[in-house]
Amino acid sequence: MAEIIDGKKVAADVVEAAKQATAALEKETGVRPGLAVVLVGEDPASQVYVGSKSRTAKEIGFHSVQHTLPADTAEADLLALVDRLNRDEAVHGILVQLPLPAHIDAGKVIQSIAPEKDVDGFHFINVGKLGTGETATAFVPCTPAGAMLLIRRVRGDDLSGLSAVVVGRSNIVGKPMANLLLAANCTVTIAHSRTKDLPAVCRGADILVAAVGRPEMVKGDWVKPGATVIDVGINRIPAPEKGEGKTRLVGDVAFAEAEKQAGAITPVPGGVGPMTIAMLMAATVTSAYRAAGRTPPTF
């Protein structure tokens, strides 16, 4: 049976390291990492995410700022807020929670965030740095950054020559994940819904990352024996066994089948999910260290 990769434990380690780094930076320089989170509208899932991010930031000791704006906020007003945060020296990370209301151009807002404060890693400058292998100075989207840390915990730091398959080509997970694996000297294939004989492609992977958003699409017999399987998917499906109208969370991988084949696998929930907020905190610490002219810690 596969090793179950405990994302909660690794995330807790990252948060603890961020806490210690925050205390050290404030003691040495007087600089306290600052994270500003902006929420527009009342999307329930976004409210949960933002609340969790703000709580973790306070727990670490950040200067934590939350701006909650009404759904009918004008695009110009949101851009003006981002501009103020860009110029605020007490803020080192800016996160605008997506999705935004339909009347606001999300791309325009994201590109208005100063690249050195773009802890989500979505600005074209950070995307370009990652794409050209400048991983030391790029901010990387938090979910693939967290997935990469889990892979290194299992496989070690030397991933040279391993075959990696990323199923999914989104700008938020699939593409940055592939670039991180490339930078680590893996041989990388990006697969997707149009890939011919997807099961055969997946069977060649030493590292298989599923990020397609389709419940339990990756079957057990798609997994190479001993492979490391990283399941980024979070899907809610009916669970009649729990009672009428009840649901449960599953990933993009059929866990019970894949667990029998894999060498190591992330569960859903409790795998990649907890890493996302932890890596956001790590990125904010990194930004604060850079702003203070100090070498950031490694996480």
Assess whether 20 carries a catalytic annotation: no
Assess whether 120 carries a catalytic annotation: yes
Per the residue annotation, which of 97, 117, 175, 252 is the catalytic one?
A: 97
Per the residue annotation, which of 53, 117, 175, 224 is the catalytic one?
A: 53
Per-residue pLDDT of the chain (299 residues; tens, 9 = 90+): 899 999 999 999 999 999 999 999 999 999 999 999 999 998 888 899 899 999 999 999 999 999 999 999 999 999 999 999 999 999 999 999 999 999 999 999 999 999 999 999 999 999 999 999 999 999 999 999 999 999 999 999 999 999 999 999 999 999 999 999 999 999 999 999 899 999 999 999 999 999 999 999 999 999 999 999 999 999 999 988 888 889 999 999 999 999 999 999 999 999 999 999 999 999 999 999 999 999 999 99
- Residues 56 and 65: their CA atoms lie apart, in Å, by 12
- Go through the domains of the chain in sequence order and give each one's CATH number: 29-119 (3.40.50.10860), 141-274 (3.40.50.720)
Assess whether 196 carries a catalytic annotation: no
What are the tokens at 11? 């995330």
Number of neighbouring beta carbons within 10 Å of residue 179? 23
Place of tokens 């007003």: 77
